[in-house]
Amino acid sequence: MHTKEGGSEPRKKFIPEFEGLRGLLAAWVVFGHILLFCGFTYQDGWFGILFSPILGVYAFMMLSGFVITAALDQRPTTWLTFMSRRFWRLFPVYVFCMTLAIVAFNVSVNISSSSTLATFGQTNMSRLTDVDQHFGLYLVADATLLQCLLPRYLFPYAGESFLPPTWSLTIEWLFYMVAPLLLLLIKRSRPLATFVTGSFILGVYSLGPWMTEYINQSFHVENVFHFLTGIGSYFIWKHMPERKGCLVSTVLFWTAVVGGMVLLNLPYKIWLATMAIVLYDRVHQRQLFFIERPRHLLTSKLVQFLGRISYVTYLLHWIVIEVILFWVIQFAPQLTDRFVLAFLCTAIGFPLTYAFSYVVHRCVENPMMQLPKRWAERHQSKQQLVISA
């Protein structure tokens, strides 16, 4: 779908490469958590990259910064309307998966106390014990998606509580609260927005040691940079075609992309590579083999499908892995080889996760996302009937 703005060239509302990126990142998180459950520990090198799903989550945050800024910029709305849309986008699936996690709480305890998960079980049991001790408090905090605001020194597992992947979701929810205000500030005065943002980052850095000790770990300054990277990337994507005839702007942009991919850590490499794929033909109006190959992967039907159900996959996969391990422990308690466990969980877990994710997407996520639109249409129809009467 395309739109035109002020006589400029058509600009896509939907970027399929980002949808594909979302699907691949979700698959990375699933596989990383399978390795975590099965007893693998972080190692340097390529295996360490596979094992570290948190790196994929960081790239998710950059993507959120881009997508939310695009939505607010292309469809200006009130803060309340925006938060209402975000609520119906996030909460129905979130509540559904949280309910499943609470129902499966004893399953988590069972597998964590088993010798099969000797490496990960003890860590997971510490989380479950903390949740059991503060069950009511965590339940209330999770119901508002503000669990990350609980002090870390009193509630060390507040960000993970019933369903560990939700630690990033609570940060995204906070970002949604401030994103409309930040965009408004950027539109009215970019120097002022730069000053406010810089002051905020400086404050976070200054309070860094205190935050690490007392506030939930989700408040690391790196997460602020991830969202800001996405916001800045949107404005580059929006204005880059206007400067495609400017050699200086083009050289500076591609120098920044290549330099960032060389110097920055993996989440930024992934994001910059995707931005390069998205922006190349918008700037140069031609195709290159090494650009088109990854583009075809990101826009393929399978990867696009994975992207559409990625949010459900992100929340649901932890429960599926636990249930699979529960049955493995019941039928083969002597099976402790981590490679065999990882193979079984991968072979069974991926198909089950995506099958259930698709069902939840069709039956919960998609209908709930359409509710605000249906209500608006009904309200408009009633107004038209009143006017015609």
- For 117-163, write each residue's pLDDT tens digit: 877 888 889 999 999 999 999 999 899 998 877 887 788 888 888 99
Question: CA-CA distance, 309 to 357, in Å (whole number)?
Answer: 6
pLDDT of residue 3: 40
Q: How confident is the model at residue 376 (pLDDT cuts 50, 70, 90)?
A: low
Tens-digit pLDDT profile for residues 86-123: 999 999 999 999 999 999 999 999 999 888 887 788 88
Average pLDDT along the chain: 82
Q: How confident is the model at residue 51 (pLDDT cuts 50, 70, 90)?
A: confident
- β-bridge mates for residue 215, sequence order: 151
Those residues with Cβ within 8 angstroms of residue 133's Cβ, 6 or more apart along the chain or in another chain: none
pLDDT of residue 372: 75
Domains of the chain: which residue ranges? 12-388
Those residues with Cβ within 8 angstroms of residue 114's Cβ, 6 or more apart along the chain or in another chain: 121, 329, 333
Is residue 360 over pLDDT 50? yes
Contact (Cβ atoms closer than 8 angstroms) between residue 14 and residue 2: no
- Residue 5 dihedral angles phi and psi, to the nearest 5°: -125, 115
Question: CA-CA distance, 156 to 195, in Å (whole number)?
Answer: 33
Comparing 64 with 49, the larger pLDDT belongs to 64
In terms of C-beta density within 10 A (0-12 exposed, 13-18 middle, 19 or more buried), how is residue 203 classed?
exposed
Q: Which one, of 196, 188, 133, 200, lies nearest residue 161 by Cα? A: 133
Tens-digit pLDDT profile for residues 335-347: 888 899 999 999 9
Contact (Cβ atoms closer than 8 angstroms) between residue 142 and residue 350: no
- Global pTM? 0.87
Give the DSSP H/E element, type plus range, for residue 3: strand 2-3
Q: Which one, of 166, 171, 187, lies nearest residue 65 by Cα? A: 171
CB atoms within 10 A of CB 174: 17
Is residue 282 over pLDDT 90? no
The one-character DSSP state at 264 is: S
Tokens 């088993």 sit on residue: 114
pLDDT of residue 19: 94
Tens-digit pLDDT profile for residues 189-218: 777 777 777 776 666 666 656 565 556 555
Tens-digit pLDDT profile for residues 308-318: 999 999 999 99
Question: CA-CA distance, 60 to 167, in Å (whole number)?
Answer: 13
Contact (Cβ atoms closer than 8 angstroms) between residue 42 and residue 123: no
Is residue 334 over pLDDT 70? yes
pLDDT of residue 41: 77
- β-bridge mates for residue 12, sequence order: 2
